[in-house]
Amino acid sequence: MRLGQMIAPLRHAPFRHQFLARAISLTGSSLAPVAVAFGVLQATGSAGDLGWVMAAYSVPMLILMLVGGVWADRLPRHHVMIAADLTRCVTQVAFGLLLVTGHASLWAMVALQALNGAAQAFAHPTTLGLTAATAPPESLQQANALLAVTSDLTGIAGPLIAGTLTVTIGAGWALIIDGASFLGSALLLSRLHLPPVVRPERRFLTEVRDGFREVMRRDWLWSSIAYFAVFNLVFTLFLVLGPVRLAGVPNGALSWGAIMAALSVGTLCGNALALRIMPRYLLRWPRLAELLLLPMIVALATAAPVWIMVAAALVMGVIMTFPDALWFTALQQEIPEEAISRVSSFDYLGSFALRPLAYVLAAGLVAVGASGSLWVIGAVFAVVTLATLALPGTRNLERRPAMEPTPEPAPATAP
């Protein structure tokens, strides 16, 4: 596939506005983890207070995710996203001003982060449906991949920029810049003019139930969400058991840093591949490719040389992100437009449902032994992966002809 086809969605004005808005807001958001952490620690000097502030963001986001999905299906999605962006602009600028002026009390920071997390609960399920509305149908996979590549790049550069800003001008100003990025995003999204969608008003719980039915009536959908829950459980255990496994070897911390760096490079490469490679079956080959997580597990279990672990981590990063663009494309292709945000909410909540359990399991597995535990984890992951492929819906979900890329015209030649 040529470069022109890979970036074709950017030639479509509605998606271009969404892409630029997303790039700006992601750049700002990538500053927040470092700025919030050091800002709270400088303001209170308490690691416990930092835990409260971080929890204040995460808990409302999870609790309100389904609420956000319902409203994103009820209202014009760009309006929901604008409201979420403006809310996050206010919360982050206010947080930054509290730090700059030296009036940052714990409960003020907790309240602002809770509002920020609540706004994120509305923004997250809105994105998938908004992309389906702004990008041409034949370029949906490229649109999803472009958004993901942008997220990867800002995720790599953002913490470095945040650290520099925190040291030079202070964490408060970094958060004010974050807030300003949401204002920029909202202004760009306000330029979108999408056709109105009329939907019958129904009870909230009825809409939640209907969204759940959309998930359960498709075997490829509910089984994949269950699979993602196991995948994220395994990945979280890897993040805990990996350092434990390397802690007793020379330069273990340096080795783990190299592994994490390779993983980040791999995730970027995976999303870049999704710009180019468009398999006929949206789930079959990506699901098989995800078995390439196993070399990393085996390398850790056997204490393989560091260069092997780094190579395995690079591959692991690729197979973690390449399937994502195809998964989002499958949802946009198969789920009715009026239900896609609710389905996205169930997807997110289900996919990460087992992550808290992973931290509990990790403590017990460390006591048993990291090496043996890694072998068991790898075996369970392989069985679950192959089990999902036993379902015909997962194996046979095809890309629809309307979603095939339109070939670029051949260059004109002189007569």
- Please compute the mean of the pLDDT values over residues 79-106 and round it to a whole number: 96
Q: In this structure, is the dihedral angle defined by the CA atoms of residues 215, 216, 222 and 225, taken in order, positive or negative?
A: positive
Residues 6+ apart with CB under 8 A from 356: none
Crossing angle of helices 77-101 and 65-74, in 10° steps, is: 130
User: Could you tell me if residue 384 is inside a domain?
Assistant: yes
State whether 176 and 278 are in the same domain.
no
Q: What is the pLDDT of residue 138?
A: 87
Cα separation of 349 and 229, whole Å?
A: 9
Cα separation of 97 and 172, whole Å?
A: 6
Higher pLDDT, 412 or 105: 105
**AA identity, residue 133:** A
User: Could you tell me if residue 128 is inside a domain?
Assistant: yes
103: tokens are 């009036």
Q: What is the pLDDT of residue 406?
A: 43
Radius of gyration of the chain (CA): 22
- When pLDDT is cut at 50, 70 and 90, the band that residue 1 belongs to is low
State whether 147 and 263 are in the same domain.
no
- When pLDDT is cut at 50, 70 and 90, the band that residue 415 belongs to is very low
pLDDT per residue over 282-314, tens digit each? 999 999 999 999 999 999 888 889 899 999 999
Cα separation of 310 and 39, whole Å?
A: 33
**AA identity, residue 343:** V
Q: What is the pLDDT of residue 267?
A: 93
State whether 135 and 222 are in the same domain.
no
Cα separation of 251 and 305, whole Å?
A: 12
Residues 6+ apart with CB under 8 A from 122: 64, 67, 68, 71, 72, 80, 83, 84
Which string of b and e fits 147-184 if b means at least 16 CB within 10 Å?
A: bbbbbbbbbeebbebbbebbeeebbbbbbbbbbbbbbb
Say whether pLDDT at 412 is over 50: no
Higher pLDDT, 141 or 368: 141
State whether 112 and 181 are in the same domain.
yes
Q: Which of 24, 23, 16 is nearest to 179 (CA)?
A: 24
- Under DSSP, is residue 117 helix (H, G, I), strand (E, B) or coil? helix
Report the CATH number that the domain containing residue 238 is assigned in CATH: 1.20.1250.20
State whether 281 and 133 are in the same domain.
no
User: Could you tell me if residue 161 is inside a domain?
Assistant: yes
Q: What is the pLDDT of residue 402?
A: 58
- The total number of structural domains in the chain stands at 2
- The domain boundary, picked from 158, 192, 226, lies at 192
State whether 42 and 105 are in the same domain.
yes
- When pLDDT is cut at 50, 70 and 90, the band that residue 410 belongs to is very low
34: tokens are 């470092």
Give residue 377's domain range: 212-398
Say whether pLDDT at 323 is over 60: yes
Say whether pLDDT at 185 is over 50: yes
Q: Which of 117, 22, 126 is nearest to 80 (CA)?
A: 126
Q: Which of 25, 34, 73, 46 is nearest to 165 (CA)?
A: 34
Token pair 């040389």 is found at: 305
- When pLDDT is cut at 50, 70 and 90, the band that residue 157 belongs to is confident
- When pLDDT is cut at 50, 70 and 90, the band that residue 201 belongs to is confident
